[in-house]
A and B are shown apart, each in its own frame.
Chain A
Amino acid sequence: ETGVTQSPTHLIKTRGQQVTLRCSSQSGHNTVSWYQQALGQGPQFIFQYYREEENGRGNFPPRFSGLQFPNYSSELNVNALELDDSALYLCASSLDPDTHYNEQFFGPGTRLTVL
C-alpha cells in the first residue's frame, strides 16, 4: 500500500509569483484535503476535494485554488504569492466523506518559502 506523497519537498518563490504543489493520495482513497501549517502552529484547513470537485473550504482567499484528477491526485495552486504564504503545505487523503468522519492520512508536506 502506497502512502500519501507530495512534490516538491521544498520550494522557494518570490512575492507575486505563482506556485503549484502536487499530491498523490494513498491507494484506495478518493478524497484529498489540503492544509497550511505556519511555523509553530497547527495545520489550518484550506479545502477538500472529492470526485474532482471542491467539497468544503476554509478561510483562505480565492488565490488559493485546487484541482483533483480522475486518479484522485490533486494540485494546490497559489497565485500572487505573499510573504505570509511561507509555510508547510500538507496534503491528506481519506475515504468518501460520509455522515461520519473518516481518518485522514497525511503526506510529508511541501515547505514553501516566499522571499
Chain B
Amino acid sequence: GQQLNQSPQSMFIQEGEDVSMNCTSSSIFNTWLWYKQDPGEGPVLLIALYKAGELTSNGRLTAQFGITRKDSFLNISASIPSDVGIYFCAGPRGTDKLIFGTGTRLQVFP
C-alpha cells in the first residue's frame, strides 16, 4: 500500500540532544499529522498541521508543514528518556483513511 517516506529510519541519541526527522510524499496532502507509538500501544497524536508553511509547537515538539505540501518535519528539543518510541507521520486521504509513514525509531541514552 501507499506509504510516506520517513528519514532517518532510526536514531540513537544522548539525553538532552535535539532531534530532527522528516517525512516526504510524492503527492500533496492538505493535512499533516505526527504520531508517537510506544511498544504494545496504538499511535498517539502529537501535532496536527493544517496549512502549508505552518509551524506548530507542543511543548518540546515543533512540527512544520512544508510549503510544497509534500513534506513535513518534526523536531524534538532537549530529548528525555520518555521520548523513546516510534514516530510516524500521516496524512489523510479523503475523510476516511490515514496514510502512514514508514516510521522513525528513536532511542535515547542517559
Contacts and interface: CB of A to CB of B under 8 A. Distances in A.
20 contacts: A33-B96, A41-B3, A43-B100, A44-B1, A44-B100, A45-B97, A48-B96, A48-B97, A56-B96, A90-B43, A92-B98, A97-B95, A98-B95, A99-B95, A103-B45, A106-B42, A106-B44, A108-B42, A109-B41, A109-B42
Given A42-B100, A42-B103, A59-B1, A108 B95 contact: no
Interface string B86-110: 0010101011111111110000000
Given A56-B96, A97-B96, 18 more contacts: A35-B98, A41-B102, A41-B103, A42-B101, A42-B102, A45-B96, A48-B96, A55-B96, A56-B94, A58-B1, A58-B97, A90-B42, A90-B43, A98-B95, A102-B95, A106-B44, A109-B40, A109-B41
Given A4-B42, A42-B88, A104 B1 contact: no
Interface of A: 4, 33, 35, 40-45, 48, 55-56, 58-59, 90, 92, 97-109
Contacts of A92: 42, 98
B74 interface: no
B34 to A, nearest CB: 12
B98 A45 contact: yes
Interface of B: 1, 3-4, 31, 40-45, 48, 88, 90, 92, 94-103
* Residue from A44, A98, A108 having most chain B Cβ neighbours under 10 A: A44
A38 to B, nearest CB: 10
Contacts, number: 65
A89 B40 CA distance: 11
Contacts of A108: 40-42
A35 B31 CA distance: 19
A50 B26 CA distance: 30
Contacts of A97: 95-96
A-B pairs with lowest CB-CB distance, top 4: A106-B42, A42-B100, A56-B96, A45-B97
B97 A56 contact: yes
